[in-house]
Every structure is written in C-alpha cells, then in structure tokens.
C-alpha cells in the first residue's frame, strides 16, 4: 500500500471547507504527497489544513478562481506518476486507492480511472456518456468490474500525469461544472481510455464542502448554466448553443416570475441565476466574476 501512495500526489481545493476537512484528511493518512489549494476561504480552511497536515503544500489563492485554474496550478507541481484529484467532501480507505492504481497499471493507455460513488443518501452513483455525447446520465445497475466509458465523474479520479500534460489540463475558461466533461472528451479524442472501477468505493457528501445559502445557490445555478452552454458551444458549435440558450432564457425568466408569485425564494434565486448566466453567454462574455477570457473562446 505504501508503494501506491508513493506513486501519486493528492490534489484538492478548499473554499470555506473547514467543516469537511477533518474527514478527508483522515482518509489521506497514508498520503505521502499532498497539495491543497485554498480558494480565498474566510473560515480558516487554510490554517486548519496546515494544522492537520503540516507536511502538505498549501497554495493560497487570493481569489476564488473555481476549479480549473487552481487545479492546473497544482498539476504543474506534481512530480509523481499519478495525481489523485478530488473534492474535499468525500472519504474513502486505502483499499480504494490501491484498486485505482492497480487498474491504471492494467491499462497503460488509460488517462484516468474513477471509483463507485456512494452518495449522502447511501445510494450508488455512476454517471456515464456514450460515444459522441456531451451530457452524462446515471445508470441504474453498475457493472461488477472495471469498464471503459466516455465520461468519468470528477468527485475523485486518479489521473496519469503524462496524460494531463498531453491534453494541457483543464480548460481554464470553466470556473465550475462541466470542466470534467470537457477534459474527458479531450482525453478520448487524444486516444486515451477512461475507466470506471466500481470495486473501488468512495463516500461523497455531495456539495457539503460549503454551507448552502442564497449566495451559494446563485453561484451554483449560474455556473451550471453558463458552463453548459460554453461546453455545448465548444463541442457542438456556437450556433447550436445559442439557439438553446435563447429558448431557455425566456423559460428561466418565466419560472422566476412564477416563483415570485408563489413566494418561493429558492426558485426565484435559482431561475434568475440561470437567466443571468444565459444572457452573459449570449453576449459572449467569460465565466463567473471574470472580465476577460483565460484562453481564446472557441467562437
């Protein structure tokens, strides 16, 4: 088991994640190489991480720049064969890590392997895509053994660092959400295989890394919407994404008005966030809180 931990570097991002850090750090007791990026937390997440794992490399990001950009920053520091990239609101045991490493060893052409997810309700979760698809969906009955697919979930996944470098990491234009779909698509296009190993198991809190509020709900729904249209424009063309965005825009606004009349503040916040994100996409403006594109947009 020690050999498995020697061969990988763990990378995860925290943003006001102090409530979940002790659990995830406990899962990483065997980790030899650990990089934690703090995305401008205000709850002492960075100090807690430093106290719990004084050997970890802590990167203090002065601004919350999402997932893609800070992950790429950490990937540049990885010297090991593999990188275990993960959310902070999960826990697992050493057996899971060994399964993932063994599966990668069995397929030298694999870019990434992902485990079975047990969600907060105790249910099994595996999301998949077929060839040519860009939207994933859950399957009811997971296979018993490892299998190749066109999408693996990014709650926790083991990447071959050479593959990450070959495809130039995440697209930094994504702030949050769908960066996992995009990197899977590009990995497949580069000739790599993507594997799900259902015998490796993690437990995922599902969005529990930060307290839920109207502010976080707005950010989540905004980014889910903008990233959906950006992903579609990148892999299907701007015209296709634009048509859908214009259709959805009016729907989001009508839903917000209905929510207001029915005194449902969560609906109002969520639907207005989606409407605002759609309008920003239609103006061809970059993602959350950004004034300019990191990479040239695909249109």
What architecture (CATH level 2) is domain 2-204?
A: Alpha-Beta Complex (3.90)
Residues 107-144: pLDDT tens digits?
Answer: 999 999 999 999 888 888 889 999 999 999 998 887 88
Helices 214-236 and 179-189: crossing angle in degrees, nearest 10, is 20
277 falls in which pLDDT band (50, 70, 90)? very high
pLDDT of residue 210: 54
- The DSSP-derived string for 70-84 is HHHHHHTT--SSEEE
pLDDT of residue 213: 82
Residue 203 CB partners (closer than 8 Å, separation 6+)? 90, 91, 92, 117, 118
256 falls in which pLDDT band (50, 70, 90)? very high
Pairing state between β 82-86 and 8-14: parallel
Two tokens at 111? 């870019």
pLDDT of residue 23: 93
From 99-103, 203-207, 265-269, 284-288, the region with the lowest mean pLDDT? 203-207
Exposed/middle/buried for residue 247 (C-beta within 10 Å: 0-12, 13-18, 19+): exposed
214 falls in which pLDDT band (50, 70, 90)? confident
Closest CA to 16 of 36, 35, 44, 37: 44
Q: How many CB atoms lie within 10 A of CB 1?
A: 11
The yes-or-no verdict on residue 206 having pLDDT over 80 is: no
Q: First vs last Cα of the chain: how many Å apart?
A: 47
Two tokens at 226? 């903008």
State how far Cα 223 lies from the chain centre.
12
Two tokens at 110? 């694999």
Residues 21-64: pLDDT tens digits?
Answer: 999 999 999 999 999 999 999 999 999 999 999 999 999 999 99
The 3-state DSSP class for residue 133 equals coil
From 6-10, 211-215, 293-297, the region with the lowest mean pLDDT? 211-215
**Average pLDDT for residues 63-73, to the nearest whole number?**
95
Domains of the chain, residue spans: 2-204, 214-282
Helices (H), ranges, the chain: 2-6, 21-27, 45-52, 68-75, 94-106, 161-166, 179-189, 214-236, 238-261, 265-282
Q: Give this prediction's pTM.
A: 0.93
The yes-or-no verdict on residue 240 having pLDDT over 70 is: yes
The yes-or-no verdict on residue 209 having pLDDT over 60 is: no
For the chain, give the percent of residues with pLDDT over 90: 88
Two tokens at 78? 């990885």
């Amino acid at each position: 088991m020690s050999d498995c931990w020697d061969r990988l570097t763990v990378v995860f991002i925290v943003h006001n994640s102090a409530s979940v850090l002790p659990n995830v750090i406990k899962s990483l007791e065997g980790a030899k190489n650990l990089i934690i990026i703090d995305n401008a937390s205000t709850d002492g997440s960075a100090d807690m991480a430093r106290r719990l794992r004084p050997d970890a490399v802590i990167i203090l990001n002065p601004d919350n720049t999402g997932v893609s950009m800070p992950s790429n920053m950490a990937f540049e520091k990885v010297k090991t064969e593999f990188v275990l990239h993960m959310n902070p609101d999960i826990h697992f045991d050493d057996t899971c890590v060994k399964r993932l490493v063994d599966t990668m060893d069995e397929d030298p052409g694999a870019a990434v392997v992902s485990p079975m997810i047990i969600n907060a309700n105790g249910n099994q979760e595996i999301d998949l895509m077929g060839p040519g698809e860009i939207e994933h969906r859950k399957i009811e009955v997971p296979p018993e053994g490892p299998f190749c697919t066109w999408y693996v979930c990014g709650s926790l996944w083991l990447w071959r660092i050479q593959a990450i470098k070959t495809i130039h990491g995440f697209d930094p234009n994504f702030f949050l959400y769908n960066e996992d779909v995009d990197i899977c698509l590009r990995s497949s296009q580069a000739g790599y295989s993507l594997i799900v190993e259902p015998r490796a198991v993690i437990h995922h809190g599902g969005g529990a890394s930060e307290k839920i509020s109207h502010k976080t709900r707005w950010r989540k729904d905004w980014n889910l919407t903008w990233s959906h249209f950006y992903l579609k424009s990148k892999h299907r063309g701007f015209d296709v994404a634009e048509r859908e965005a214009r259709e959805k825009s009016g729907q989001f606004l009508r839903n917000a008005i209905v929510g207001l009349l029915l005194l449902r503040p969560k609906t109002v916040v969520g639907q207005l966030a989606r409407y605002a994100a759609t309008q920003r996409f239609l103006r061809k403006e970059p993602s959350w809180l950004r004034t300019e594109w990191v990479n040239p947009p695909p249109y």
